[in-house]
Homo-oligomer: A and B are copies of this chain.
Amino acid sequence: MKKHIIGVDIGGTKIAAGVVTRGGELRCKVVVPTMAEVGVDTSLGQVYMSIRDVLKAGGFGMDQIEGIGVCAPGPLDQDKGVVHNPPNLPGWKDVPLASLIRKKFRKSTKLENDANAAGMAEAIWGAARGFKHVFYVTVSTGIGTAVIIDGRIYHGKNGMAGEGGHVTISHDAKGAACNCGNIGCIEAMASGPSTVKHLLKKLKKNPRRKTCIIDMAGGDPDKVTMVTVGKAARKGDKVALETIAEEGRLLGIWLGSMISILDPEIIVIGGGVSLLGNLLFKEIRRTIPSRTINIYARKTPVVQAKLKKDVGLLGAASIFME
């Protein structure tokens, strides 16, 4: 009987669960609301429900399941399977998630943070398939990363390695305060919202600059996202093109440093902002070689993630394959 893995991706607003084959094929999927605002017990109930529902939806029995992989926002302790207190899951405090699920379903259960899980899925089934040393990046609301060495997620001493989004690239950046408390983190400089924030600041300073970005957001600057900027760029809007180029340049500077320290075989970039595609990637690739001491950096592939919207689920499942 073929054994499959259940992947559960716990986010701030929704929980997605899927049955995944060892080959990385998503056989079925359900999505339920997280309901974190109601309380941690309710959220846990939703997690259990998503697991039961996905089995039912796909017509699978528990005997066909090898184990359960769960990913959640950090900080968390992979080894102990405990979710500490993620800002996105208010009320969760030191929840022993892996052991709760293990007891409930009598299945081996593993926990991992979402960026690490997504990186693992890309390394096993996605854009970095066949590579041992991978640097995975997700650029969206924040910037998350995973350091994969010899095909395994590198966790460091306290399970907190791979927080590359909080590497400082501008030690005295005025105003680029990061949510983590530090300043000048690449996350504070080049995440989606950070990039939009800098763009709006610039436009305020120079209101006569012609751009269709605000119009495309219905005239409301607060509605501008990187999706808006991407659409405007595709229409040839110069401000939008400059904004994406600047984001690419900042990411390139940072990735140059990451190559100096890690010398990975491949860099995979996922997350919503990566969907800007070549507009972003060409500037990243152009910038890297002049921002690293690594003479081979020019040959380090920097590629778009492959797994797109189900990467969370697949990531959760992939930690069984490590």
Chain A residues within 8 Å of B, Cβ to Cβ: 75, 133, 145, 147, 149, 154-164, 166-172, 180-182, 185, 250, 253-254, 256-258, 260-265, 290-296, 300
Report the separation of the CA atoms of residues A157 and B262 in the bound assembly, to the nearest whole angstrom.
Answer: 9
Q: Give chain B residues whose Cβ lies under 8 Å from the Cβ of A265.
A: 157
- Are A261 and B147 touching (Cβ within 8 A)? yes
Q: Give chain B residues whose Cβ lies under 8 Å from the Cβ of A258.
A: 261
Question: A256's contact among B149, B160, B182, B261, by CB below 8 Å, is which?
Answer: B182
Return A310 CB to nearest CB of chain B, in Å.
Answer: 27
Report the separation of the CA atoms of residues A66 and B172 in the bound assembly, to the nearest whole angstrom.
Answer: 51
Q: Give chain B residues whose Cβ lies under 8 Å from the Cβ of A261.
A: 145, 147, 161-164, 167, 258, 261-262
Report the separation of the CA atoms of residues A227 and B257 in the bound assembly, to the nearest whole angstrom.
Answer: 30
> How many copies of this chain does one complex carry?
2
- Are A250 and B171 touching (Cβ within 8 A)? yes
- A161's nearest neighbour on chain B, judged by CB, is B263
Question: A296's contact among B133, B160, B162, B294, by CB below 8 Å, is which?
Answer: B160
- Are B294 and A168 touching (Cβ within 8 A)? no
CB-CB under 8 A for A294 and B253, given A149-B154, A168-B169: no
Q: Give chain B residues whose Cβ lies under 8 Å from the Cβ of A145.
A: 261
Q: Give chain B residues whose Cβ lies under 8 Å from the Cβ of A154.
A: 149
Question: A157's contact among B133, B163, B170, B185, by CB below 8 Å, is which?
Answer: B133
- Are A160 and B253 touching (Cβ within 8 A)? no
Chain A to chain B: the 9 pairs with minimum beta-carbon distance, closest first: A156-B263, A161-B263, A166-B293, A180-B293, A167-B257, A158-B296, A163-B260, A166-B260, A157-B265
Question: A156's contact among B75, B133, B163, by CB below 8 Å, is which?
Answer: B133
- Are A75 and B295 touching (Cβ within 8 A)? yes
- Are B160 and A295 touching (Cβ within 8 A)? yes
Q: Give chain B residues whose Cβ lies under 8 Å from the Cβ of A169.
A: 168-171
- Are A170 and B171 touching (Cβ within 8 A)? yes
Return A216 CB to nearest CB of chain B, in Å.
Answer: 30
- Are B291 and A163 touching (Cβ within 8 A)? no
CB-CB under 8 A for A160 and B291, given A169-B171, A171-B170: no
Q: Give chain B residues whose Cβ lies under 8 Å from the Cβ of A75.
A: 295
- A189's nearest neighbour on chain B, judged by CB, is B171
**5 A-B residue contacts at CB 8 Å?**
A133-B157, A145-B261, A167-B167, A170-B170, A261-B261
- Are B133 and A168 touching (Cβ within 8 A)? no
- A265's nearest neighbour on chain B, judged by CB, is B157
Return A302 CB to nearest CB of chain B, in Å.
Answer: 13
